[in-house]
Amino acid sequence: MPNLSRWIEDAADQVATLPGIGKKTALRLVLHLIRKSPDEVNRFAQAILDAKANIKSCNECHQLSDDVICEICKNPMRNKTSICVVQDIRDVLAVENTGQFNGVYHVLGGLISPMEGVAPSDLNVNSLIDRVQKNLVQEVILALNATMEGETTSFYLYRKLSPFSINISNIARGVAVGGELEYTDEVTLGRSIVHRTPYEMTLKR
């Protein structure tokens, strides 16, 4: 970035580390913030710092929460016998926005990816097994991205959960192969949840 203040350049470099933000977009955002008043910029920065300092991981499902147990897990109206397994909180929000699921969630915190050095031990797999063992779980829905990593993770979880007397289902493939849940429209994702199929059926294709 020639002829730019080093302060602006340093700020833009930091913003560009965010996912989906390129250098041009980062620069535009920094210039926008600089035009704000000091109070507005301070509120913006403080909100991020407060979130970082105060957000917790739910002890039950591992999604981000204000408390040690999230609002979904605490809600007595949610069906605790049905667990929807997702990659991260963005997928929780995507499924919640469909209004088609009234169970609880389990956030893995990623997907198995040997190329990126992510092994099953790096994910919240053991706590999922513990939930199935300790609670009266009847169904585990594998709602992972339709990518190679998502399919690998789903198959691994299927093998781990198969010894238990529960239904293991997979969301219907209204979600395009190679697609990610957070970018799928609500109607398509909602139908994929409603029309989920036994995971065994995906192994016969």
81-106 per-position pLDDT tens digit: 999 999 999 999 989 988 889 999 99
Return the DSSP state at 129. Answer: H
Residues 2-27 as b or e (16 or more Cβ within 10 Å = b) = eeeeeeebebbeebbeeeeeeeeebb
Structural domains of the chain in order of their starting residue, each with its CATH number: 6-54 (1.10.8.420), 59-203 (3.40.1360.10)
- At residue 33, the pLDDT reads 95
Report whether pLDDT(178) > 50. Answer: no
Contact present, 78 and 86 (Cβ < 8 Å): no
Model pLDDT for residues 18-63, shown as the tens digit of each residue: 988 999 999 999 999 999 999 999 999 999 999 999 999 999 999 9
**How does residue 172 score in pLDDT terms, banded at 50, 70 and 90?**
low
- At residue 166, the pLDDT reads 93
**How does residue 159 score in pLDDT terms, banded at 50, 70 and 90?**
very high
Residues 71-83 as b or e (16 or more Cβ within 10 Å = b) = ebbeeeebebebb
